[in-house]
Structure 1
Amino acid sequence: MRVIFLIFSLLTTFLLVHCEDPYIYRTWDVKYTTLSPLGVPQKVITINGLFPGPIINCTSNNNIVITVANNLDEPLLFTWNGIQQRKNSWQEGTLGTNCPIPPRTNFTYHFQVKDQIGTYYYYPTTSLHRAAGGYGLISVHSRDLIPVPFDPPADDYTVFVGDWYTKSQDTLKKLLDTGRSLGTPNGLLINGKADGKTDKPMFTMKLGKTYRFRICNVGLKDSINVRIQGHNMKIVELEGSHTVQNVYDSLDVHLGQCYSVLVKADQKPKDYYLVASTRFTKKDITTTAVIRYDGGKGPPHRELRASSGGMALVAQPIPIHSLEFDRHAARPNPQGSYHYGKINITRTFRLVMDSGSTVGGKRRFAVNGVSHTDGETPLKLAEYFGVVDKVFKYDIMRDEPLANVTNTIVAPNVINATFRNFVEIIFENHDKSVQSWHLSGYSFFAVAIEPGRWSPDQRKKYNLIDAVSRHTIQVYPNSWAAIMTTLDNAGMWNLRSVSLERQYLGEQLYLSVLSPERSLRDEYTIPPNELLCGIVKNLPMPPSHSAA
C-alpha cells in the first residue's frame, strides 16, 4: 500500500510539473489590400484578409503562438498592447526590443497571457504602419475557477473606434520626416467602417438581454467620446481590472485605452446609433454604427446628441477616483502589491511633455529634453550581447526636468532602472492637447490626475487605497497624472506616448530592468528564433541564462 501511495505521489508531482497551460496557434497573412474606409481607395494592412484583424480569443494563462507571414514590401513588427510578457520582453515587438521581420519572410511570436483577464489589442509598431491598420482584439477570458463580478452577457461585441487619415502611411511618414504635422484626421472609423447611417446593422440585441461591449480607442491622435442613443453603459472592466460598476450615458476613451461596458436592451425595439465623436478638439468629427433590436421596427433618430466636446471641458471627464477596483472581484494581476499605498517610493520620475521643438530644422518631441530615436541595433540585443557602449548610453535623461532646457538631445533614451524598485512616475502635460501614455510590461496604479503643476505636496491628493491597475493613463492639457508600480518584470520595456505623431518623433523612452543574476527565475533567455540585426548580427551567442 505504501509503495502504491509513493508511486501515485510521484506521478501526481510529475504531472503538475510537466503539464503546460493550453496552447493557441494562429497563422497570419499580413499584406496591403486596397480598401476605402472613408470612401477614398487606399492601402490598408489586412490580416488574413480582415480589417480589423482576427480576434485572439483566449483564456488566462494560455500560451499564444502566432506565425506572422510578412507579405508587405517593408519590415514589420507587432506589439501586444497591455499583455505583460512576464520575464519575456523578447516578444514585446518594439524597435527597442526586436529586429523587424524582413519582407516576404515569416516569424513566430510565442507569449503567455499570464495571470491576466480583460480587453487588450495588438497593432504594428514599425514605421507609421499603425496608420494603415493591422490592429485587432485580444480578448482574455477568466478561467472557470476565477469568477467575474457580473453575469455572462448574451453576446460579446468589439468596438474599435479611432481617427483615420485618407493619406497613405508612406505619405504621412514623409510629412513627419520633413518636419510637418499630420494635421487634422479626415474622419473616424468604427470597426474599420465610417458612418453607419444605413439600414445594415453592425450589432444586434434582443429585448431584455444584456450585452458586453469591449470599446478600444485604436486611433492615432484624438480622444473619442462613445455613447449609445437612449441607453446607459455600466463600466465593468478597464484594461484588465474589474471596476466598481458605475453607470454613464457616455464614455471618454483616450488613445490606447480599452473599456468593457454592459448595455441592457431595455428600450423600444427599433434601431439606435452607437455614436463616436472626437473630444477636446477644435473640429468635432462624428461617426455612427447601427444597433438593431431583433424584430424591431423603425430607424434611429437622425439627431445626434452632442458629445460635450470642444476645446473646453464642457462636461467633466470621468474623475479618476470614480474608477476604483471592485473589491469583490478577482484580481489576477500579479504585479506589485495591492497595499501599494504603504510601500516606500524608491525613485520618482517627473516627465514633462511640451508642444515640441525644432532640431536640425525638423520637428521633434522630447521628454525632459531628450527625444528618443531608434537605431539599427535593438537596445535589448545590445544589452544581451554586451555591446551597450557601441549603441546607447544609460540615463542621459534626468529624472526631473531642468529649469531651462535650451537644446533637445536626439538619442536612444534608456533609463537604467533597478529590479524590484517601487517607482512613482509623474506625467506633466504643458501642451494644449490631451496626452495618453502607455507602459509595456507592467500594469500600474493610476493614483491621481489633477490640473496645474506637480509638486511633492500633491501626494496628499493620491488615491492610495483602491486605484485601478491599468497600463495606459491620460493627461489633460496643463495637468499632471501620477502612477505607481513595482519594477518586478525583468526586461527592456517601452514607456511611450500613444499619439503616433509624438511617439514617432521621439516622445518615448525605455526602462531597462536588469536582474542582478542571469537566471531563468527572473527572465527567459533569448528565444532560438530571435532575429539578429545591426552590430550583433554576426556576433557569437552569449551563454544562456542559468536555471538557478
Structure 2
Amino acid sequence: MKKISPNPQMDRRKISLVATLAVFLYGLSASLIVNAEDPYLFYTWNVSYGTLSPLGVPQQVILINGQFPGPRINGTSNNNVVVNVFNNLDEPLLFTWNGIQQRKNSWQEGLLGTNCPIAPGTNFTYHFQVKDQIGSYYYYPTTSLHRAAGGYGPLTVVSRDLIPVPFDAPEADYTIMAGDWYSKSHVALKKQLDSGSALGRPDGVLINGKFGKGDGADAPMFNMTPGKTYRYRVCNVGMKNSLNFRFQGHKMKLVEIEGSHTVQNMYDSLDVHLGQCISVLVTADQAPKDYFFVASTRFTKEVLTSTATIRYIGGKGPASDVIPTAPTGTNGIAWSMNQFRSFRWNLTASAARPNPQGSYHYGQINITRTIKIYNSAGEVDSKLRYAVNGISHVDGETPVKLAEYFGAADKVFKYNLMLDQPDVASVTGKKVAIKLAPNVVNATFRNFVEIVFENHEKSIQSWHLDGYSFFAVATEPGTWTPEKRKNYNLLDAISRNTIQVYPGSWSAIMLTLDNAGMWNLRSTSLERQYLGQQFYFSVLSPNYSLRDEYNIPDDSLLCGIVKGMPPPKPYTP
C-alpha cells in the first residue's frame, strides 16, 4: 500500500482548529468556575456612637461609617451579601436583616436567640444570600435597646435583568426611613423599661434621621425632574406608632410591599405600620416648585408630624404651608382596614424566581396546624412585662439555636411552654399570670400553618416573622372563629413578612414552614419586644441534611454553655 504523505497545509488547519477549540473549552470551563457562585457584595461597617440633635436636643446616636441612618445595602436577587461589622460601642452588638428570608441560614439572623453578640472592640462578618427575593427591607440593631439610638438603614433587592418588572424603570430610586423617635437616650429608655415603666409617647417623627417642621426652611431631601417618575421605598422604622405618609399635591401608585409586586392602585395616602415597607411610584406632574413628603403618627391622641422637602429641578417657589392630613378618629381604623383589603398580589408579574408568582396556589393547601396569638401585658415582680399566650420570652447567656444545635437544649429551655390555642381569659387582661422563660415552639418541617392574631387591647399591634414570607389573608374587627375562614382572601393575598392587628380585631396569615432553622416571631413595638413579646419557631429538618439547612459557620461566635463544647457532627447532603 502506498503511503500517503501528510498535507502540511491540512495539518496546520487541524492544529489551528484544535487550538481554537481548546481555547474555547478552557474559556468555557473558566467561565463556569467563575460563575459557580452568584455575585458577592462586600461591606465594612464601623459602628460607633456620635452626638446628634435629631429633635433639637443633643443625644447619643449610633452611626455606621459616620452615617445616621446607616448606608444602603443595594443588591440584586441571589447576590451574596458580606457585611464585616466592627463594634466600637461599649456594649455587645447584633444586627438583623428585617425581611430577608435567609434560606436554610438562621445562623445569620442576628438575634440573641440565634447568635452570640459581637463583643466591644471586636468584629464579626455576616454572610447571607438574598435568594429568590426582591423588595424593600431594612436592618437594625437587636441588642439591648440600641434600636432607640438608631443603627438602622435601608436594604433593597432588585430583580435580575432576565426577570421583567411590571413597571418602567424609574428616573431614580429613593429610600425613606421614617419612624417615631424619643429625645431621651437609649440608656435612659432602657433604664425606664428595666425599672418597670412603659416608654410613653415618642417626642417626634424622623424622616431619614431628620425632623421637618413643614416651614420650608429645610434643604431639599429629594429632587425630581418635571415629567419623570420616581420610586420611593418607604419603611416604618419607628418604635411605637403606625404612620401615614403622603406626597403633597401628588398621587402615589403602589407597586410593591415587602417583596411582592402589587396590583397598581392609586392612593392619596398610605398607612405603613411598624416594621413594614412599601414602594410607590410618584410622577412629577405638578407645577414646578417645592412640595412636602409628609409622615404622621396614626391612632394616637396627639398626632406627631414631620416633613421632607421635594424640589422640582428648575422649579420656583416654596411648598404650600397647607399640609395634607391623614384620616383621624375611629373612622381612621375602618379606613385603614379597608386599605389593607385593597392590597392585592400582582399575579401577572414575575417575581425573583422564573415562575410566575401566581403558580403557588396557597388557597388549595390543607391547614395542618392553627396557632392563635394573644398579646398581653402584665406585671412580674411589680415590673411591666409583655407576653405571647402567657409566656414572656427571656434571652439567656446561651442562644436557643446554639443550645439546640449542640444538643444542650434541655439545659437552656423547654419546648412548647406556649399553647397553640389557650383560653383567651387565661392569657389576656391586666392581672393574668405571666411566666418568664425562653419561648420556643416546635414546628413540623413543611407543615402548612395558619396563625391568627387576636388583639384585645386598645392600641394597634404589629408582628414580624423572620425567615419567611406569609400570606396576609384577612383582618377584621371582633374575635376569630373557624367560620371566619370563609372571608379569607385565598387567591391574591400579599406575600409579606409583617402584619398589623387593629384594636379589638384579628388578623390571619398562612404559610408553609419549609425553611429549616430557628425563626423569631415578634412584636415590632420596641418596648413590647424588649419586654418579652416574642417567641421562636424551631423548624428542624427530619433528615438533618444540607439540602434543608446549612451547617454552623466556622467563624460563628460561641458563648454560654456551648463555648468549648465539641462541635456536633456536620450535616451531609
TM-score (norm 1): 0.96
- The Cα of 1:336 is off from its aligned counterpart by 11
Does residue 1:15 correspond to 2:36, yes or no? no
299-308 vs 430-439, which moves further: 299-308
- Distance in structure 1 (CA, Å) of the matches to 2:424 and 2:274: 29
- Tell me which structure has the larger Cα radius of gyration: 2
Q: Secondary structure at the match of 1:529?
A: coil
Of residues 504, 521, 532 in structure 2, which corresponds to 1:506? 532
Distance 1:372 1:495 in 2: 11
CA change 1:182–1:337 in 2 (3 A) is: farther
**Count of equivalent residues:** 544
State the 1:351 CA deviation.
0.5
Q: Cα distance 1:519–1:433, how it changes in 2: closer, same or farther (>3 A)?
A: same
For 2:54 and 2:218, how far apart are their aligned partners in 1? Answer: 18
Amino acid at match of 1:543: K
Query: Counterparts in 2 of 1:421-500, with a 5 A limit?
Result: 421-500=447-526
1:246 partnered with 2:265 = yes
Describe the SS at the equivalent of 2:387. Answer: coil
Query: What's the secondary structure of 1:366's corresponding residue?
Result: strand
Identify if the C-alpha distance between structure 1 residues 337 and 370 changes in structure 2 by more than 3 Å, giving closer, same or farther.
farther
Q: Who is 2:548 aligned against?
A: 522
Residue type matched to 1:190 in 2? I
- Structure-2 separation of matches of 1:199 and 1:29: 29
Pick from 217, 238, 242 the counterpart of residue 219 of structure 1: 238
Q: What is the distance in 2 between the residues matched to 1:398 and 1:180?
A: 28
Amino acid at match of 2:390: G
Q: Once the 2 structures are TM-superposed, how far is the Cα of residue 11 of structure 1 from its aligned partner? A: 6.2
The residue aligned with 1:86 is: 103
- Provide Cα deviations, 1:71-99, integer angstroms capped at 9, x if missing partner: 00000000000000000000000010000
Instruction: Specify which of 152, 170, 174 is matched with residue 157 of structure 1.
Output: 174
**Contact 1:117–1:142, Cα closer than 8 Å, also in 2:** yes
Aligned positions of 1:165-176 closer than 5 A: 165-176=182-193
Q: In structure 1, which of residues 262, 267, 282 is the aligned counterpart of residue 281 of structure 2?
A: 262
Tell me if the contact between 1:284 and 1:309 (Cα under 8 Å) persists in the aligned partners: no
- Letter of the 1:132 partner, please give it: A
Residue by residue, what CA displacement relative to the aligned partner does 1:485-524 show, whole Å, maximum 9, x if unpaired? 0000000000000000111111100000000122111100
Give the letter for the 1:161 counterpart.
Answer: A
Cα–Cα, structure 1 residues 247 and 46, in superposed 2: closer, same or farther, change >3 Å? same
CA contact (8 A) 2:160 2:352 kept: no
Query: Cα deviations across residues 200-244 of structure 1 (Å, max 9, x unaligned)?
Result: 111111111000000000000000010111100100000010000
Residue 423 of structure 1 deviates from its aligned partner by 0.3
Amino acid in structure 2 at the alignment position of 1:359: V
Indicate yes or no: 2:355 matched with 1:329: no
Question: Structure 2: 5+ residue runs without aligned partners?
Answer: 1-13, 427-431
Matched-pair contact (CA < 8 Å) for 2:163–2:351:
no
- Alignment root-mean-square deviation, CA: 2.0
Query: 2:388 aligns to what SS in structure 1?
Result: coil
Question: Does 194-203 or 131-140 show the bigger shift?
Answer: 194-203
What is the CA distance between 1:18 and its match in structure 2? Answer: 6.5
Which has the larger helix fraction? Answer: 2
Alpha carbons 1:418, 1:514 under 8 Å: kept:
yes
Relative distance call for 1:42 and 1:516 in structure 2 (3 A) is: same
Contact 2:474 2:489 in 1 (8 A): yes
Q: 1:12 deviation in Å?
A: 6.0
Q: 2:421 aligns with which of 386, 397, 400?
A: 400
Q: Structure 2: which amino acid aligns with 1:27?
A: T
CA–CA separation in structure 2 for the residues paired with 1:438 and 1:133: 19
Partner residue of 2:340?
320
Measure how far apart 1:322 and its partner are: 1.4
Partner of 1:345: 367
Could you tell me which residue of structure 2 aligns to residue 49 of structure 1? 66
Report the 3-state secondary structure (helix = DSSP H, G, I; strand = E; otherwise coil) of the residue aligned with 2:537: strand
* Alignment-derived partner of residue 11 in structure 2: none
